[in-house]
């Protein structure tokens, strides 16, 4: 006997219904498992972030000092940012440090990774571990060591320079030397960057080097035309991470020279101004405005860096 289907409603739906039920069940279970993360995002990120933005338009104090309570002040906090000499000094110190540290934090790990991937280097694994070990040292403990090391009178570096007949500058007490000293300390933690660059260099296809050698390319040409384009996405990633980190740079100068940024404010970064206004003077309304201002600056610099990527970052596969 022949069965004739006269419409779409006559089609067997058991398979489709089962798959639809399975999809709905998986969707419900997926939402159930992701709900704790969504709640955490809402209560520990979105709500506090929105509250801090609203707070930047008030004169909220962490500890009420005048008994007047909190009131709306409009754009007064934001206007004060442009008039505050401490903010100007903090921005200038942060800008100078970033100008010196960004090339160092990119080129030094790249150069070390390039050496540590050389086939002619004996004990490559040992040296890789050696370069990465400082990243495992707790930051506060490392800064205490650096404070003793850079002490102008009894520090180990001063003693070595003295035995060589060279006078030791006051690394942490001289306004002209404090930022270069912080750059030197920053090289202590380049182990992560080295590991990332090693992975990038090992990921460059060997066929490209072989083709370049057939064309008679020199070592520099192979680096410029093969290595650099292939590792440019990793370089871009490191630049983004370093830029964001510079916007939060606080703990190292705070431990070494205090929130005043000794000497003479030469190491008083923008984050220290924010910290002092918020947690020393309890001006949380102004402090949140300072934090949001730094976020805006870092955000636009990041957008600018992403825009520039189309001119120098090479992707092996076309972006979707």
Q: Both tokens of residue 263? A: 């000497």
> What pLDDT, on a 0 to 100 scale, did the predictor assign at position 11?
45
Residue given tokens 């007949």 in the structure block: 165
Q: CA 143, CA 148: separation in Å to the nearest integer?
A: 9
> What pLDDT, on a 0 to 100 scale, did the predictor assign at position 298?
94
Every domain of the chain and the residues it spans: 8-55, 76-312
- 3-state class (DSSP) for residue 80: helix
> What pLDDT, on a 0 to 100 scale, did the predictor assign at position 296?
95
Mean pLDDT by 10 residues, the chain (320 residues): 48 56 86 91 92 93 79 92 94 94 92 88 87 88 89 81 79 90 89 92 90 88 90 93 92 91 91 93 93 95 94 74
Q: Both tokens of residue 91? A: 């921005």
Strand blocks (E) in 137-295 = none
- The length of the chain, given as a count of residues: 320
- CB contact set of 290 (below 8 Å; sequence gap of 6+): 81, 87, 270, 273, 274, 277, 278
CATH tag for 76-312 (out of 3.10.20.600, 3.20.20.70, 3.40.50.1360, 1.10.3720.10): 1.10.3720.10
- 3-state class (DSSP) for residue 58: strand
> What pLDDT, on a 0 to 100 scale, did the predictor assign at position 317?
65
> What pLDDT, on a 0 to 100 scale, did the predictor assign at position 13?
47
Q: Both tokens of residue 186? A: 């920053």
> What pLDDT, on a 0 to 100 scale, did the predictor assign at position 18?
65
DSSP letter, residue 168: P
> What pLDDT, on a 0 to 100 scale, did the predictor assign at position 274?
94
Cα 309 → chain centroid = 17
Q: Is 257 exposed, middle or buried (0-12, 13-18, 19+ CB in 10 A)?
A: buried
Positive or negative, the Cα torsion across 266, 144, 183, 176? positive
DSSP calls for 85-130: HHHHHHHHHHHHHHHHHHHHHHHHHHHHHHHHT-TT-TTHHHHHHH
DSSP letter, residue 11: S
């Amino acid at each position: 006997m022949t069965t004739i289907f006269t419409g779409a409603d006559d089609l067997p739906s058991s398979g489709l219904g089962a798959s639809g039920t399975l999809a709905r069940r998986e969707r419900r279970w997926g939402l159930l498992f992701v709900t704790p993360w969504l709640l955490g995002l809402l209560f520990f990120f979105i709500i506090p972030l929105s509250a801090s933005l609203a707070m930047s338009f008030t004169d909220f104090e962490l500890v009420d000092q005048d008994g007047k309570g909190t009131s709306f002040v409009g754009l007064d906090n934001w206007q004060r940012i442009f008039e505050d000499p401490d903010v100007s000094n903090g921005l200038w110190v942060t800008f100078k440090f970033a100008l010196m540290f960004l090339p160092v934090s990119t080129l030094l790990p790249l150069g070390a990774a390039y050496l540590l991937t050389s086939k002619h280097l004996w004990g490559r694994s040992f040296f890789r571990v050696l370069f990465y070990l400082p990243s495992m040292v707790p930051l506060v403990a490392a800064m205490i060591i650096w404070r003793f090391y850079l002490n102008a009178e009894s520090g180990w570096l001063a003693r070595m320079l003295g035995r060589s007949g060279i006078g030791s500058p006051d690394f942490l007490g001289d306004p002209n030397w404090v930022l270069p000293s912080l750059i030197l300390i920053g090289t202590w933690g380049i182990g992560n960057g080295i590991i990332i660059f090693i992975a990038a260099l090992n990921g460059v296809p060997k066929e490209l080097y072989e083709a370049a050698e057939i064309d008679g390319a020199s070592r520099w040409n192979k680096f410029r035309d093969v290595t650099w384009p292939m590792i440019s996405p990793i370089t871009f990633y490191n630049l983004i991470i370093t830029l964001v980190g510079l916007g939060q740079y606080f703990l190292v100068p705070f431990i070494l020279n205090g929130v005043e940024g000794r000497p003479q404010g030469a190491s008083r970064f923008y984050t220290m101004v924010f910290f002092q206004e918020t947690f020393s003077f309890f001006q949380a309304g102004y402090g949140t405005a300072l934090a949001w201002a730094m976020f805006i600056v870092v955000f636009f610099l990041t957008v600018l860096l992403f825009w520039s990527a189309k001119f120098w970052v090479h992707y092996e596969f076309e972006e979707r």
